[in-house]
């Protein structure tokens, strides 16, 4: 396939999957339950945090998580008491449990009270052409309060070799425009050109078959390689191809 043919093929697949019906089976449906900016941000961040494993399980547990927060995540984060945190203890999704969730709520309150909110933290630490350094700086900020060491594994660090799939997915949700009704386009201070594909087993395998990726591991170096090649196809909105790669892998068994 020539570069032009590959671009045409993937652009067609983007149109197929960057569509409201994508919400039916995807965790992004959870933040779509809300209309207030901060509710969307917090529900999106928490949902992305537990977005590994079976998608049905992710959606079910993210729905339960919102229920634990009274379906008002921003109000819960900002006004919670110690008793409220205790009520989170039964929550579990794979290795993410009530201890981790309790710290996440506490840290989010700190982020919104003392650092201007999630958008501000990510926007302030972006670089000229990438959000990966901002993700690493975000992790430092997020864990500045006392916490159990076990909880740190639930926020990835590109500086330590991670592809940071879940945070890159969250950033896609917040930054890409909402013209198709899938992503939100809430954060105007970050250019979509800086976003990275949420690299996972599905998108990675498809990218290798299409010769967009040679590296075998789905790590930070692989993400840099994929970023470079996707930006050749669309330098202004490279992460739109997440829909094509993911759709080809999950729905078409490409």
Would you say 76 and 84 are in contact if contact means Cβ atoms under 8 Å apart? yes
**pLDDT tens digits, one per residue of 146-192:** 999 999 999 999 999 999 999 999 999 999 999 999 999 999 999 99
User: Where in the sequence is the domain holding 165, given as residue range(s)?
Assistant: 3-250
Q: Which residue has 């203890």 as its token pair?
A: 89
Please calculate the CA angle 144-147-153 and round it to the nearest 5 degrees: 90
Task: Give the tokens for residue 236.
Answer: 């202004």
123: left (phi over 0), alpha (psi -120 to 50) or beta: alpha
How confident is the prediction for the chain on average, in pLDDT? 96
pLDDT tens-digit profile of 38-91? Answer: 999 999 999 999 999 999 999 999 999 999 999 999 999 999 999 999 999 999
Domain count for the chain: 1
61 closest CA partner among 30, 104, 36: 30
β-bridge mates for residue 93, sequence order: 96
């Amino acid at each position: 396939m020539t570069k032009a043919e590959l671009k045409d093929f993937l652009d067609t697949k983007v149109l197929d999957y960057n569509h409201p019906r994508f919400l039916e089976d995807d965790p992004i449906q959870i933040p779509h339950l809300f209309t207030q900016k901060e509710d969307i941000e917090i529900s999106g961040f928490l949902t992305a945090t537990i977005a590994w494993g079976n998608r049905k399980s992710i959606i079910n547990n993210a729905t339960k998580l919102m229920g634990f927060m009274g379906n008002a995540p921003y109000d819960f984060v900002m006004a919670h008491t110690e008793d409220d945190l205790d009520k989170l203890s039964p929550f579990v999704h794979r290795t993410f449990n009530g201890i981790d969730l309790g710290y996440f709520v506490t840290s989010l309150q700190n982020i919104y009270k003392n650092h201007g909110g999630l958008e501000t933290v990510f926007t302030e630490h972006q670089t000229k052409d990438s959000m990966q350094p901002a993700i690493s700086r975000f992790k430092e900020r997020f864990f500045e309060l006392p916490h159990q060491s076990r909880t740190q594994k639930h926020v990835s660090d590109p500086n330590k070799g991670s592809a940071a799939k879940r945070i890159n997915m969250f950033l896609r949700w917040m930054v890409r425009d909402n013209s198709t009704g899938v992503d939100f386009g809430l954060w105007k201070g970050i250019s979509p050109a800086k976003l990275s594909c949420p690299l996972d087993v599905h998108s990675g395998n498809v990218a290798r078959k299409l010769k967009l990726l040679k590296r075998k591991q789905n790590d930070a170096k692989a993400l840099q390689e994929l970023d470079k090649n996707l930006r050749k196809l669309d330098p202004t909105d490279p992460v739109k191809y997440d829909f094509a790669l993911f759709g080809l892998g999950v729905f078409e068994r490409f």
